[in-house]
Structure 1
Amino acid sequence: MTKTANLYLLGPVKRGVDILLSILLFPVLLPLILLAVLLLLVPTGGRVLFRQERMGQGGKVYTIFKLRTLKPSATHDTAGMGKGSDDFVPFGKWVRRWRLDEFPQVFNILAGQMSWVGPRPERPHIFQKQTKEHPELIVRLEARPGITGWAQIHLPNATPLENLQKLPFDREYVENATLSMDLKILAKTIGAVI
């Protein structure tokens, strides 16, 4: 792993902000998560919570939590599909459109596995395949993965298969992240969702 991450990414300020933001937002997020769970309960056959392994900071593998928006028959490789897909369960498109499926990741943040802002995490087998072809992708492992990130602001519709296009933005974030940059990314993310 290279050493391009700045002190803000590795220091206590970012972690403290993640915890504080999680605690402050939890009263708002909990009713939204419960609403999404209720909408998805029947269409998913009660299997509302989706778990999947992802690559974290330093290459450590962890389990990410999301709300299930796809039919159980859908493959795990459909994460970047278009809005016209029929693999969504009823209300799944709506839950994903409002990013409600991402909210359970607040538990990953509180566990120290993720951050509110950082490069998006990838599945280990995809990350390993992509880094064999493009070793420069390893820079993403220098920061905790995020629910949103600099690359998502600039390339909001990029699929996991278009991962390489996000690299310059992820590298810029890892090298230059600050509290004000994180707040700017969060504000732009909220603006894009609303």
Structure 2
Amino acid sequence: MRKRFSIIMSFTLVCFVSACTNNEPTNVEPTVSPTQSNKPTESVEPTETNHESLKYQSKEGWSILYPVMWDYTSDDTLKESATDKYISFDTHDIPEDGVEKWLDSKIEQSLALEEADNTLLEEVTKETNDGLTVYKYAIQSNYLSQITEIRFVIYVDHDHIYEFHGQVPPLTKDEFEEIVGTFSVGK
């Protein structure tokens, strides 16, 4: 009886250690914990907001909600590894030339890329939402005969440009807009 118990405990310990070992060093398993404070954290560790979403809190003080099944986070990307759905982001200081010149230059660079045949699929729209200026547009990319959309949403406050983009497919337009639509800064 004691020997059987020892074998079972040994097997359980091996299974536990195997489950805790991560053979993919680029994946970061989200830590789920309730949000205790309204002030921004200095961590990119997600926090649970409800049963369907996690909250990504950037080091720059902004946040977005994303699906709990997305299993990779970094300083510039949220991703669901199983489907390759992702949203990438970056924060920029507003340049001296202004946001619209920066945006025009960014689009021109994307369209001039030689690696893919890129065209402007949706013209830039501009709106105001919750005190932020919001720019949206989409680029169609034909790379190695695979056609995708790269969707962009850019939020601008008085000091920063918050840039988000994702590829459709595998992400859908609705998924992208729903996730990026949860953006908030300094809340």
TM-score normalised according to structure 2 size: 0.25
Identify the structure with the greater strand proportion: 2
Identify the structure with the greater helix proportion: 1
TM-score normalised according to structure 1 size: 0.25
Looking at both structures, which has the greater relative contact order when contacts are Cα pairs under 8 Å and sequence separation is at least 6? 1
